[in-house]
Amino acid sequence: GLSGAGKSTLAHALAERLRSAGAKVEILDGDVVRENLSQGLGFSREDRDTNIRRIAFVTKLLVRNGVVVIVAAISPYRAARDSARAEIGGFVEVHVDCPVPELTRRDTKGLYVRALAGELHGFTGISDPYEEPLAPEVVVHTDRESVDESVEKILAATGPARA
């Protein structure tokens, strides 16, 4: 999903539910990953793809060790998501959908207003592409579903083996 759609909020709520069921869970939040693992990367297509490859690599290592990994990151290109799916296995894509007018309303930093006015370049979904998933396992609509409703949808789609 786009910036402000609710990826991190849902990730934390989902992680809490999974941990309460006894699962080992890690969240890889896009902002935190960029701060710690992908410092120096910009927002070109190549840099965005590199960031997603790094996230996929860390995810694969954690999954291999029995950890449920929830990635809350903007991944704007289908090819990068498809590559991550192939590398990780057991990949469940959740499209966190929220319309731009609602994202603009939620945006306390004014990023959408600046991007829509042409003052902020390379902003995903406005001045940079966002290729919506063609067949995600789950779609949540954070403009009309509560966090709990979205988490329930994700859990229902992932099945008892993952919950």
Catalytic option among 3, 75, 127, 146: 75
Please give the Cα distance from 119 to 113 (Å, whole number): 9
Q: How many Å separate Cα 78 from the centre of its chain?
A: 13
The residues facing 96 across adjacent strands are 140
| Cα-Cα end-to-end distance for the chain | 22
In whole angstroms, what is the distance from residue 47 CA to residue 65 CA? 28
User: Do 17 and 158 meet the contact criterion of CB atoms below 8 Å apart?
Assistant: no
- Report the alpha-carbon angle 78-83-89, nearest 5: 120
The question of whether 3 is a catalytic residue gets the answer no
Residues with catalytic function? 75
